[in-house]
Structure 1
Amino acid sequence: MSTKSILLIIGLAISLQLFQAQERWILKSGFMSKPDTVFIFKPQAYKKTEKYPLVYLLHGYSENYRQWSRTTDLQKFSDQYKMIIVCPDGFTTWYINSPYNKGARAEDFFFKELVPQVHKNYSIDKKNIFISGLSMGGYGAIRYFLLHQDYFNTAGSTSGAFSLDPDMMKSASLQFFTTTRITDDLNKILGSPKEWKQYNISTLLKTYNKGKPFLIDCGSEDILYPSTVEIRDIADSLNIPITFISQPGNHNTEYWRNSIEHHFIFFRQHFK
């Protein structure tokens, strides 16, 4: 057999192994108006007889379930940290149950439909379940962590949109999209701006009582940096163990590509 043939066979074997390590689900939902697509990465050395830590990664506003896999090499992280990584589609829901739109109950979809499917199909270490996200997904990750403390070990957020302050959301929308699409969508999901405050992470922190640590980071040039610092200060005032990483950077893919590994390292440090 020629060297070229051997290399071709090896290449095909590696491609097959990678293909088997990654799955894409399309889940019909009783809580969402359209099916949700989920991208899943498992270690290439995955064995059903072993239990694996689990990481949910939530994408940002206007993006989809593929944002994280386009941002960084998730298969590398899955192999390196021996974790299963799950990337659902949050559309533009802010990962919240809309009180006005029965087809936008993202939190119910996550915990009542996605979570059971993940545990049914994979061997999960239930003591080591983590969640992180970027921008809107960073908001969703910390929101879910604070509201479902018994499910998660700890959580992270990079460039999280923690404050749904109408003026700040309008400024962010104009900066990122040159339109008011973010506030327009929030109006559809949450109603008038006077109702948004109850969903702020600062509001949720005041009911947090487990004392589990979590991580937040943000680039110092990011429009969301001040609200991230505010969350750190509130957490410190409430004696909530928080790790805050401040570093140069803006609200973009380059920043998230560099920041996300800090989250995997943080999660590994908190293995039980």
Structure 2
Amino acid sequence: MAFIQANIYSNVLEMEVNINVILPQKTEKVIGESTQQASTDVPVLYLLHGMGGNHSVWARRTSIERYVAQYQMAVIMPSTDLGWYTNTTYDMRYWDFIAEELPEICHELFPQLTTKREKTFAAGLSMGGYGALKLGLKKPDTFAAVASLSGAVAIGGNMEALLTIRNAKFWEGIFGPLDQVEGSENDPLYLVETLAASKKETPRFYLACGEEDFLYSANLQIVSKMEEMKMPVTFEHGPGNHTWEFWDQWIQRVLQWLHESN
């Protein structure tokens, strides 16, 4: 596998953005790694970070490069600051960047990446779990499967939990008036209902959360809504909290799930 650190310019954000990229590479005499790697139509996973993280955190805190090697999959890890994968009220269009511009840039720079929906995936943790779920719900024509680990996936009616992390001014800067988040395009529960009503082909969803995680009940809530809407959702859980020990373990399960269900 090749590990590439890139600085790209985002016209949407009007700033330089860092991304890390893992690409399959044909190699010889590399101990413990496959030498038969795809070089065209490569499946791609957009892997999103949480609050406090950036483009480097998945590679620093897990063995994602080693885990993904057996699946011959590319991984795109962008830095999106604390933007919550949302077009913020302070005029930073993080949603447009992650959902529209970043895939275009990556296909320009790495033409071996697939353009097929059935081979395009998203995943993330915490804030990134929210972002990945949002990509699946709002861009079902682009993503075949998405996975959320310990995701903040029921924020519309659960702003009280987020106010324990940052104050109201922070969240208003992201989403606008807090009493208007529920039922908006930034509310995953609302997006579940909207996608179900659209009759569009629905991506496969995978959610996992530690049973001691403060977001566990939120994950139960949205899984229940997805099941009510007859969406293809897998929910798994086990001992664990909002920690890298949990995410390092379960990102391996995500990759396995993507491989099994593809």
TM-score, with normalisation over the residues of structure 1? 0.84
The letter for the 2-side match of 1:158 is L
Partner of 1:63: 53
Among residues 64, 85, 98, which one is paired with 1:110 in the alignment?
A: 98
Partner of 1:72: 62
Report which stretch shifted further, 42-51 or 77-86. 42-51
Q: Flag the structure with larger Rg.
A: 1
Mark the runs of 5 or more structure 1 residues left unpaired by the alignment. Answer: 1-17, 174-179
The letter for the 1-side match of 2:174 is I
**Any idea what the Cα deviations from partners look like across 1:150-202, whole Å, max 9, x if unmatched?**
1111110000001222211113x1xxxxxx35x43221122221122222211
**Any idea what the Cα deviations from partners look like across 1:69-120, whole Å, max 9, x if unmatched?**
112112212321100000001110110112x222x10121123321112112
**Any idea what the Cα deviations from partners look like across 1:114-171, whole Å, max 9, x if unmatched?**
1112112231232301000000000000001110001111110000001222211113
**Any idea what the Cα deviations from partners look like across 1:219-251, whole Å, max 9, x if unmatched?**
000000000000111111111111000111000
Partner of 1:188: 173
SS in 2 for 1:141: helix
Number of aligned residues = 242
Partner of 2:40: 50
Among residues 152, 159, 170, which one is paired with 2:163 in the alignment?
A: 170
Identity %: 28
Q: How far apart, CA to CA, are the structure 2 residues paired with 1:95 and 1:76? A: 27
Report which stretch shifted further, 216-225 or 113-122. 113-122
The letter for the 2-side match of 1:231 is I
What's the RMSD between the two structures over aligned residues? Answer: 1.7
**Any idea what the Cα deviations from partners look like across 1:41-64, whole Å, max 9, x if unmatched?**
012328685321100100001211
Partner of 2:30: none
The change in CA–CA distance for 1:72 and 1:122 in structure 2 (over 3 A counts) is farther
Partner of 1:202: 189
Query: Where has structure 1 moved over 6 Å in runs of 4 or more?
Result: none
Among residues 25, 28, 35, which one is paired with 2:9 in the alignment?
A: 28
Kindly indicate whether the alpha-carbon contact (under 8 Å) linking 2:83 and 2:174 is maintained by their aligned counterparts in 1: yes
Kindly indicate whether the alpha-carbon contact (under 8 Å) linking 2:86 and 2:93 is maintained by their aligned counterparts in 1: yes
Partner of 1:259: 250
